[in-house]
Structure formats: C-alpha cells, structure tokens
Chain A
Amino acid sequence: MNEQQKITIVQNIMNANDGLAEQNRQNLLSARLFSINIMASPGAGKTTLIEKTLHAFTPSHRVLVVDGDIATTYDADRAAAAGAKAIQINTGGDCHLDAMMVSRALSQTTLSEYDLLIVENVGNLVCPANFELGTYKNVLVASVPEGDDKPHKYPGMYRGVDVVVLNKIDLLPYVDFDSEFFSKGLQVLNPNVEIIPLSCRTNEGLEKWFGWLNKEMDIFKKETS
C-alpha cells in the first residue's frame, strides 16, 4: 500500500558545511592559532599579498599557508619559497574551498606549532561566500582593474567579510575607478567594514594591512588566553 505524506523539514541547506566550519573554528581556537581566509576574483593579487605578508611576518611568526587551487601547486610553491609551511588543496574542479577540505588539510599538521594561518581560497567572486571555513577573520581582496561596481554586482561576497583590501592602487591613474561608488556598494551590506587600499607593486598601504593583522592577532590572543 502506498501512503502519501508530506514531511515539513525547514533545514538550512548549508548545515553540513556550517557544522564542519564550526569544528574547524573550535580546533583553531584551542590551538590558539589566529586564522584568515583570503577570497578574491582570479588574479586580484591574493598570492602576491600573501608573499608580502610572509616577508613581513615570518621573521617573527610561524606561518602556515593553506592554498586552494583547482589544479596546480604554483601558489603553494610561492608561499613555501617565501618562508611559510604550505599545504596545497587541489579542489579537483571545485570553484571554492569548503570546510571539509580545510579540515583535512589542517589534520596534516600540528596547529599549535603556528601563530598565523592564511587560507588562500580559490579565485572566484561568487561561490566562496556560501562556504564558511571556520577561520577567525574573512578577508576580501578587490583590485582596481576589476572595476568599482563589483560590490554592487556580487553583494553576497562582500557582505560577510571583516576587511576589504583594495589592491593595485598603482593602476588608479590608468583606470576609471570611482572609489566612492566602490565604498558605497560596500557600505550597503557591510556598513562597518574597513577598506585598506594598497599596492603590492609599490608597497604603498602595506603597512596599514600589516597593522590590521597585528591588531587582530592581539585581540585574538587576549580572547584565547
């Protein structure tokens, strides 16, 4: 006999990922490892910013870099060359990292041996926003040549992040980029977010980024001690 029945569920589709992200967050907290997830479009300058950050921080900090890429190991190689312990995740075609991939990568090492974890997400301005990883802070790298309308076109991506780095400001004289229109788009969904304009080419503004990192690491240390 076939009995028909409707079952009401009302369950968030991302529950499974969110649960794993929470586990990652707890693991990182108990290892007292400060962590950031860097998201951006392809070519915005994630790896270059990570290299600059490593040059500034590896003399005094033990840094772990987890690099998400669809197929290659170039970015992990660049991080290793710049002085970090680097773990590559090949997503095998996936356009984003998820909490499970990060969890597997982190289990390959001893978290308490590091002071800073940098996760480089796959270059993509849509998908990573839906997949929390469990990092303490989320960073978005925008870049001048992408255009000032990106926060208006990809609001989902800009809304959950803690800080926005605007990279490649050395190109401002050559591109039509209305900084005010860009900031306004950000403010709509993320009213208090900080914007750090910088150039990885000229190093202008990098000090401010290092300052942000140092400040957040201090807050994290206090919270976990």
Chain B
Amino acid sequence: MHELAVTQSILDIVLQNASQAQATKITNIYLVIGDLSSIVDDSVQFYWDIISKDSIAEGAQLQFRRITTQFECLDCHEVYQPDGDSIICPHCGSTRIKVLSGEEFYLEAIDIEK
C-alpha cells in the first residue's frame, strides 16, 4: 500500500501550515477521505506515529471523516452505493452514472497550540 507516501504528504502540509501560524504543537488533524481513494485509516495512523516523531506534530490525533461512495444513475435517477461486485445501476442496469461522492481526499483543518 502507498500509505507511507500519503502520510509523508500529510505531514508536509501540516508542518508547513503550522509553521506559518507559529504553532508550538499540533493536537488534531482533520482528514476527509472518500472510499474511492482506497486509503486505509489504520495504516496512515501507523506510519504517522513513526514519521511525526520528534516534530511538533508528534502525538497529534488523526481524525478521519470517511465519505461513502455514492453514484446516481442518469437514466432512472436511482442513488446507490456500489456493492463491490458490480458498479452498474442495480435498478435499471444502466452504465450512465454520475459520481456524487467518494472521491474526496484532502486535509480539512488542524488544531494547534501556540
């Protein structure tokens, strides 16, 4: 899995923003992750504990907000969560769909002390 690279990227963004705000400590990190992005929370936390050591982000809590994948069928307007076996509309079999959610992959906010 590529969570190490992703976690490194999170740390870089966090430290850059914290130093701009002249923080002395980072206590919480709020992440928004859609299920289409295939990121596993536990592995991010695992790497986080290792790579944040000896930085002002050491000990910070990672708060994950998971967003489930939701599709809307453009033909019958059924809104559904793909079940892992098929991503076709379960109601009418259409392949014309719109992604409503699940692609999110960003850092929303951090809590700091200064």
A-side residues, CB < 8 A to B, are 2-17, 94-96, 98, 126-127, 129-131, 149, 151-153, 155-156, 181, 184-185, 187-189, 191
Within the complex, the shortest CB–CB distance from A176 to chain B, in Å, comes to: 15
- B111 x A6 contact (CB < 8 A): yes
Interface centre among A16, A94, A155, A188 (most CB of B within 10 A): A188
B73's nearest neighbour on chain A, judged by CB, is A188
Judged by a CB distance under 8 angstroms, whether B79 is at the interface is no
Specify which chain B residues have a CB less than 8 angstroms from the CB of A187 in the assembled complex: 95-96
Residue of B nearest to A98 (CB): B5
Interchain pairs with CB closer than 8 A, number = 117
| B109 adjacent to A6 (CB under 8 Å) | yes
Contact A185 B86 (CB under 8 A): yes
Give which listed residue, B17, B23, B82, contacts A152 with CB less than 8 A.
Answer: B82
- Is B114 interfacial (CB 8 A cutoff)? yes
Contact flag A185-B88 (CB < 8 Å), given A5-B21, A5-B112? yes
Chain B 30-49 against A: per-residue CB contact (8 Å), 1 yes, 0 no? Answer: 01000011100000000000
Give min CB distance, B71 to chain A, whole Å: 8
Task: Answer whether residue B92 sits at the interface, using C-beta atoms and an 8 A cutoff.
Answer: no
In the complex, whether B100 has a CB less than 8 A from a CB of chain A is no
Q: Is B76 an interface residue (CB 8 A)?
A: no
B85 & A149 in contact (Cβ 8 Å cutoff) = yes
